Amino acid sequence: MGTKIPREIRLEVIRNWLQGKTRDQIAYEVHIGAGTVSGIIKEYRSGDLDADLLREVALNLKNTGLDILSFASLVRLRAILKEKEWILGVWPGQNKEDDDELDQAPEKKMESLIMSIEVFCYKENLSVKQFFDFVHTMYLTAEKLDIPLESFPNHIEEQKAQIENLSEQIKYFKSEKQIALENYQTTEERLEEFRMSRPMFEEGQQLKQKLEQVTKERDEYKIDLDHERIWNRKTREHEWSILVPELDKANKDLGSNQALTPKNLKEMVMNVYHYPSTNVDIIRELRECRIGNTKGKLNKYNEPSKPFKPI
């Protein structure tokens, strides 16, 4: 019969039986007959003498509210204690005098340690999990800092001393800072305002420098423009200037009681220039005179040139 039943079903039946389930429960859950279940269990018990013991352990765990996974962790913990020779023999610092007492002493001390941890956590308002997390974190920190765990308290004290030293230095620098603020008649609020407005202040300084540069260039351009105006005025004065001998000779030939001045001569010339249609006769006569002029006529008296008079 056993050879015809799939291996997966046989393992499922044995697993459920070891967990303390009855034959009928197993048959219902695995969907096979109760007789088949009995046959599988009988075959398993005949091949494994500890089968009934394992089932009894599973039932006891179930009755105490534990599961097989919790029991496995306890077995592993006991194996570690045995490996370190804390069980079934001596543990560090002890002599093997009474095997039974020594075998039970580590477990009793473990129970005592657990109780002590619970009392400590209760007083410190901590959970046991928080306590073990703290111990684990401390161990990792010591390992990271490369400090032996037994030296960790000394390291903490050294760090506290350094913190106190730094705190004293901070107090000293705060005092020096306060004295400096009083000497310069300012406050931290003003310094903070200055720090916040410093970018705007620096930008204002840059704009001020640019403005000064532009002002300087403007003044230079203004000076150049004034010079140009002066030279233009001088040029115009030179263009409208007249020789003194020429003006004197013209007044003599005119024989008028009203002397001809550069100013009224310029006015008459400008009147001809701006209104040629009303001065056609004058223009015609001037054109005929211009055609009839010969070289050297202006200096026929060979007199030295006198200063110009501006018109």
CATH number reported for the structural domain that contains residue 51 in this entry? 1.10.10
Q: Is residue 177 part of a domain?
A: no
What pLDDT score was predicted for residue 239? 66
Q: Is residue 76 part of a domain?
A: no
* Same domain, yes or no: 2 and 40: yes
Q: Is residue 118 part of a domain?
A: no
The answer to whether residues 293 and 273 touch, using CB atoms and an 8 Å cutoff, is no
* Same domain, yes or no: 226 and 255: no
Give 252's Cβ-side CA count (13 Å radius).
Answer: 6
* Rg of the chain, C-alpha, whole Å: 62
Kindly give the confidence (pLDDT) of every residue in the chain, 311 residues in length, as a single tens digit, with 9 standing for 90 and above: 445 788 888 888 888 887 778 889 989 999 999 989 998 888 888 876 666 766 776 777 667 666 655 566 666 666 666 666 655 444 445 554 544 454 556 667 777 777 788 788 878 888 888 888 888 888 888 888 888 878 878 888 888 999 999 999 999 988 888 888 888 888 888 888 878 888 888 888 899 999 999 999 999 989 988 888 888 887 777 667 778 888 888 888 888 777 888 888 888 888 888 898 998 988 888 888 877 764 444 444 444 444 544 44
Question: Which among 33, 1, 219 has a CA at the least distance from the CA of 13?
Answer: 33
* Same domain, yes or no: 258 and 301: yes
* Same domain, yes or no: 269 and 220: no
Q: Which amino acid appears at position 306 of this protein?
A: K
Q: Is residue 84 part of a domain?
A: no
* Same domain, yes or no: 11 and 54: yes
Question: Which among 84, 1, 77, 91 has a CA at the least distance from the CA of 37?
Answer: 1
What pLDDT score was predicted for residue 308? 46
Q: Is residue 225 part of a domain?
A: yes
Residue found by looking up tokens 């001045």 in the block: 261
The total number of structural domains in the chain stands at 3
Q: Of 48, 66, 84, at which residue does a domain stop?
A: 66
Q: Is residue 33 part of a domain?
A: yes
The answer to whether residues 93 and 57 touch, using CB atoms and an 8 Å cutoff, is no
* Same domain, yes or no: 306 and 244: yes
What pLDDT score was predicted for residue 166? 92
Q: Of 20, 42, 66, at which residue does a domain stop?
A: 66
> What is the per-residue DSSP string for 299-311?
GTT-PPPPPEEE-
* Same domain, yes or no: 227 and 267: no
Q: Of 47, 66, 85, at which residue does a domain stop?
A: 66
Q: Domain residues for 19?
A: 1-66
* Same domain, yes or no: 206 and 261: no
pTM over 0.75, yes/no: no
Question: Which among 170, 187, 169 has a CA at the least distance from the CA of 178?
Answer: 187
Using CA atoms, how far apart are residues 275 and 255, in angstroms rounded to an integer?
Answer: 27
What pLDDT score was predicted for residue 298? 44
